[in-house]
Amino acid sequence: MVEAERLAAELDAIDPPTLLDVRWRLAGPPGRDDYRKGHLPGAAYVDLDTALCGAPGPAGRHPLPDPAELEAALRAAGVRAGHPVVVYDGGDGMSAARAWWTLRWAGHRSVRLLHGGFPAWTAAGLPVSIDPPVVAQGDVTVRPGALPVLDAADAARLAAGDGVLIDVRAAPRYRGEHEPIDPVAGHIPGAVNLPAPEYVTEGRFPTVEALRDRFAAVGVTGEAPVAAYCGSGVTAAQAVLALHLAGRADAALYVGSWSHWVADPDRPVATGPEPDRSDA
């Protein structure tokens, strides 16, 4: 994470970090509209739906991107091999976290989030530009697999007792009482529920100690494997970031998440309250 004032100082350096504006809303309108109205000076816009994720389909609503297409998009945005990148969004931290996760998965380690996103920048009275930046072509090479991912079978094993699988959707969606997006309501049997507002508030994270306590409350203790899922792998990427902040850099993402799980009608679905983890 990087705070707005610190980032402003870094941008005044001779070789500042590469800025990526990844503002996005699940239901629209496109984040590029916000970018055109004002963005951090020098920031290039990168679209989550078309650049950072693959096309929606059986693999989920936000599957992994094609590596060659991702590499082309990142190079066009000026991402250079080994050079620091800072990503920011509209303040909730979700698309920025998925951008962070995607770049890390692609092998680019030096990635930070602007804590609080674009609202934190403007609240600090820092300058905003409407001018499209002149971006030098980057030379980053995408090497997939630098962060762990789960497929459906992995998720099922983890939820069945091989570790902790965290469902970060709102409790009514987890319990199967309400499902506004996907065709089936419920959760992966054995998954525990920790809705995103329990560990992040408007894109800002609490202390490391608070994060560890909140994850420990759902069974994330010791070295047992841990992973997260949501509806389509965006909010869950934010959970993986929070787990990294809490010291669990091995945390995995079920990228397809619920939208992938329910694409196969033979996969089991649970409803109701979360499982008893007292013996975990």
What pLDDT does residue 28 have?
78
With a cut of 80, say whether residue 278 has pLDDT above it: no
Q: pLDDT tens-digit profile of 99-110?
A: 999 999 999 999
Buried b (16+ CB within 10 A) or exposed e, 181-197: ebeebbbbebbbbbbbe
Instruction: Please give the average per-residue pLDDT across 162-182, as a whole number.
Output: 95
Instruction: Please give the average per-residue pLDDT across 245-266, as a whole number.
Output: 97
* One-character DSSP codes across 89-125: -SSSSHHHHHHHHHHHHTT---EEEBTTHHHHHHHTT
Cβ atoms within 10 Å of 62's Cβ, excluding its own: 29
With a cut of 60, say whether residue 180 has pLDDT above it: yes
Structure tokens belonging to residue 124: 């600090």
**Distance between CA 57 and CA 230 in Å, rounded?**
16
Catalytic residue flag (residue 230):
yes
Q: Does domain 4-123 have CATH number 3.40.50.410?
A: no
Nearest to 77, CA basis, from 125, 54, 111, 105: 111
**Distance between CA 244 and CA 105 in Å, rounded?**
13
- Same fold? 4-123, 152-261: yes
**Distance between CA 186 and CA 176 in Å, rounded?**
4
With 0-12 / 13-18 / 19 or more C-beta atoms within 10 angstroms meaning exposed / middle / buried, residue 1 is middle
In whole numbers, what is the pLDDT of the chain averaged over residues?
94
Residue in 74, 220, 230, 237 annotated catalytic = 230
Instruction: Please give the average per-residue pLDDT across 259-263, as a whole number.
Output: 97
Q: pLDDT tens-digit profile of 192-226?
A: 999 999 999 988 999 999 999 999 999 998 888 99
Domain locations along the chain: 4-123, 152-261
78 touches 138 (CB < 8 A): yes
**Distance between CA 227 and CA 166 in Å, rounded?**
6
Read off φ and ψ for residue 264, nearest 5 degrees. -110, 110
Q: Which CATH architecture has domain 152-261?
A: 3-Layer(aba) Sandwich (3.40)
Long-range contacts of 161-164, Cβ-Cβ distance < 8 Å, separation of 24 or more? 161/190, 161/280, 162/225, 163/224, 163/225, 163/226, 163/227, 164/192, 164/218, 164/219, 164/220, 164/224, 164/225, 164/226, 164/227, 164/280
Tell me the percentage of the chain whose pLDDT exceeds 70: 98
State pTM to two decimals.
Answer: 0.95
